[in-house]
Amino acid sequence: MKAAIIILSDPKPGSEEALGRLFNALAVTYDFKQRGDEVTVLFQGAGTRWIGEVSKSDHPAHVLFEEVKDKVAGISCGCADVFGGTEDAEKSGLDLIKDNPVPGTSGFPSLHNLIGEGYSILTF
C-alpha cells in the first residue's frame, strides 16, 4: 500500500478540530510507517502553518511529529507563501515543494504525480 497524507487543517484558530486532524494525519502516517508501507506527508494550504507549531518541544503533537518527520516530503511552496508558512518551513529544513508550476505562484506539490505513482490520497 502507498498513501499520501495531505495536511490542510489550520492551526491558527487553535481549535480542537484542527489539532484532531493533525493528530489523526500523523497517527495514520505512523501506522503506515510501522507496517513498512510507503507513506508520504505534505503540508498544504493553511496546514503549512503547522510546521512552526509542531517543531516546538512543548506542542502536544511534537513527539508524534518527530516519529514520522522522515516521512514528510515537504511543504507546498505556493501555500506557504500565501499562508505565511515560508519562514518556519525554511527553518525546519523541510523541502518547499513546487513540482506543479501553477501560473502566478511559486508552485505546488503535484498530486497528479502521486496518484500516477500509485498513492492513495488522504486529506486531513
How many domains, the chain?
1
- How distant is the alpha carbon of residue 37 from its chain centre? 18
Single-letter amino acid code for the residue at 94: L
Q: Quick one: which of 56, 57, 45 has its CA closest to 21?
A: 45
Q: In CATH, what number is assigned to the domain containing residue 27?
A: 3.40.1260.10
DSSP-derived letter for residue 75 is E
Q: Quick one: which of 117, 98, 118 has its CA closest to 108?
A: 98
Task: Name the grid cell of 108.
Answer: 505546488
Q: Quick one: which of 105, 91, 93 has its CA closest to 69?
A: 93
Partners of 21 in the beta sheet?
A: none
Q: Which pLDDT belongs to residue 14?
A: 75
Q: Which pLDDT belongs to residue 21?
A: 96
Q: Which pLDDT belongs to residue 42?
A: 98
Give the other-Cβ count within 10 Å of 15's Cβ: 12
Show pLDDT as tens, one digit a residue, over the chain (124 residues): 999 999 999 998 778 999 999 999 999 999 999 999 999 999 999 999 999 999 999 999 999 999 999 999 999 999 999 999 999 999 999 999 999 999 999 999 999 999 999 999 999 9
Q: Where in the sequence is the domain holding 10, given as residue range(s)?
A: 2-123
Q: Which pLDDT belongs to residue 13?
A: 74
Question: What is the Cα–Cα distance from 86 to 82, expressed in whole angstroms?
Answer: 9
